[in-house]
Amino acid sequence: MILEIQEKTGASLHKICSTLYIPRSTFYEAAQASSMQLFEMKKGEQIETILRHHRGRYGRRRIYRQMAEEGIIA
């Protein structure tokens, strides 16, 4: 949201955050992906790779089993 405001108005990040009464650190913290988000993105990419490799013929059980065999998930 803040980036959209910045693009539309051309205002500085400091000015926008002070107007919204939020510290800039909150913006920077929210802009970074958490370790869980990064893990989920990686897992999603691996699922897509498995699906492409098997031409979409694998269901969730086979995908889960293959990922477990590869040590991706416990």
Residue pair 59/67 in contact (Cβ under 8 Å)? The answer is no
What SS3 class is residue 19?
helix
Across the chain, which has 74 residues, the per-10-residue mean pLDDT values are 87 90 87 83 91 91 91 76
pLDDT at 51: 92
CA distance 55 to 22: 48
Whole-model pTM?
0.55
pLDDT at 37: 83
pLDDT at 3: 83
55 φ/ψ sector (left φ>0, alpha ψ -120 to 50, else beta): left
